[in-house]
Structure 1
């Protein structure tokens, strides 16, 4: 919901940084993998209860996630780059809830499993829509230049990052925060399914 509103503010500096990185020979895929490594490091920090360090790694990971697209636009967008980016994103999104479950399986297990389920359902609705949109040759740049068709929703990347930061700031509230966010993820997926029924039926 917030992604398209913040893009006009973050894209210009990211694109400038991306062009500089591309001139230095940096590849978008390298930045993508670096972002994933930072995200995995955030998960490890959570398991070790180093929540402030986890916040820094999460922010650095998402900076890399924005920068890889900027580098790709400067060097030339590739289908594999888009595939690698979305795959690494989903690994990152699963890592943070999993880290909280590993931290305290007894207290966090059920809520963490529900949260991961909601992520899985939301991701499936998103990717399924993207496949059909490609088949219909649909295009949208509301979320920036992407290799996949991005449908908006109640919860998008920005909201998810804010949620992860809240988990790190208030780890004692993991269960209610996760249950609430998981429900909103399912609402987002349902809205996308209803949109697909309207757009693709017949």
Structure 2
């Protein structure tokens, strides 16, 4: 929801950063790799007990993820870049979930359910994107929903910072993720019928 409706407020900063990186000779894919390596370190920071730094690093990786997409659209977007972007996004999320699961093993069952819901959500999201004839700014049809990447980062951040309530927070994230998935499924039924 925030990715779809609030992006316009941060886009000027994303544009300036993309232009800066392009002027320095960096490619979109190089920034994708940078964002990935920054992002996956979040799980280690969570595991070793540095929650505030983990959240800062997580959001830095998310910012770089937005910048690389803007860079690609300013130059030449590639299918390989899209694949890297989507794959690395999931690996960053997995690193956070694993960091939380191994640090707070009593919540591992809830984190496992959240992981399953993310797999389900991404299966629906990517399949609809691949089957849809609609095109958007991105290289495939992007279905808006209640929980998009920014909401995921907010929820992961809250889970990291308020780990005392990790199981409850994880179950809230799970419910939001499932709601979004079914929201997208109902839209897809209308979109793909025919």
TM range (shorter): over 0.9
**Residue in 2 aligned with 1:47?**
47
- Aligned partner of 1:167 among 159, 181, 191: 159
CA contact (8 A) 1:17 1:70 kept: no
Q: Does 1:147 align with 2:161?
A: no
Secondary structure of 2:90's aligned partner: helix
CA contact (8 A) 1:29 1:81 kept: yes
Question: 1:93-135: CA deviations, max 9, x gaps?
Answer: 2221121111122x011111011011111111100100111xx
Question: 1:125-182: CA deviations, max 9, x gaps?
Answer: 100100111xx2x123xxxx21121101111111111111111210111100001110
**Residue in 2 aligned with 1:94?**
94
Gap regions ≥5 residues in structure 1:
none
**Residue in 2 aligned with 1:114?**
113
Q: C-alpha separation between the residues in 2 aligned to 1:36 and 1:20?
A: 19
Count of aligned pairs: 194
**Residue in 2 aligned with 1:26?**
26
Q: Which runs of structure 1 show a deviation greater than 4 angstroms over 4 or more consecutive aligned residues?
A: none
After superposition, the CA RMSD in angstroms is: 1.2
Gap regions ≥5 residues in structure 2:
none
Q: C-alpha separation between the residues in 2 aligned to 1:193 and 1:4?
A: 18
Q: C-alpha separation between the residues in 1 aligned to 2:70 and 2:188?
A: 30
Q: C-alpha separation between the residues in 2 aligned to 1:15 and 1:51?
A: 29
Single out whichever of 117-126 and 65-74 deviates more from structure 2: 65-74
**Residue in 2 aligned with 1:63?**
63
